[in-house]
Structure 1
């Protein structure tokens, strides 16, 4: 079984997990996220650049399903108009619900999902399909594929706001 790591359990990380589990890949998935899944720093920050100020049609977590978020809103009776600007909390609910659905799909396909509530401190690439992640405690784990979705560095972004 292949080992896949996703560094970051926010919007981008959950989008990666969702799209991988759609393919019914049989893998050991590990998500490195210090905060709660879906409640990423960018979604909970006070920075105006992190406000979800886009149409609901622009927020799908699936590349090949651009209407997924809009359909989620209607199905869950959150809104009925595709042009509605939704509060951040509703989008976070969508991301978390997508995570839960992805876990169910992965488990059904024989995959395993593990959350590591630690910072991925460094990454060493050995070759095309082999790398190691060292967590903040120095523990080392081998992966065949790694998706990095750490979001914006808030210290760096503050100068532009």
Structure 2
């Protein structure tokens, strides 16, 4: 509970500040996405995911890559099921999650950490089941909460 008379920062302002904080990452995603458009990708803004999404991005092994408020996606819809990193690594039998929910968690992580996201992500193991960023994104996709990489 806040103290009487304490000013609260509107949620929209936090979103704007987060988007500005992660703008260098978003610009990397926009550049990569724009190159992909020349090879068949198409673009739209997803209010739900707080991101500019490039679908049918023509490179990579499949799935999606988030850079700031940009999502590069090789498929047609982020609303598709996918397996968790732990499941893929054989650490358990987990139910599929929705890719959009997983990538939205990464958008939130970027908005909180800004330019620190990529170095921290790489220090935590990169694209792997042991990476706390990926485990948190999977948790958020499963439970709708817990996107912060250091949450219990």
TM above 0.5, yes or no, is no
Please give the range of the TM-score, normalised by the shorter of the 2 chains.
Answer: under 0.3
Q: Which has the higher strand share?
A: 1
Q: Which of 1 and 2 has higher RCO (CA within 8 Å, sep 6+)?
A: 1
Q: What's the TM-score, normalizing by structure 1?
A: 0.24
Q: What's the TM-score, normalizing by structure 2?
A: 0.25
Q: Which has the higher helix share?
A: 2
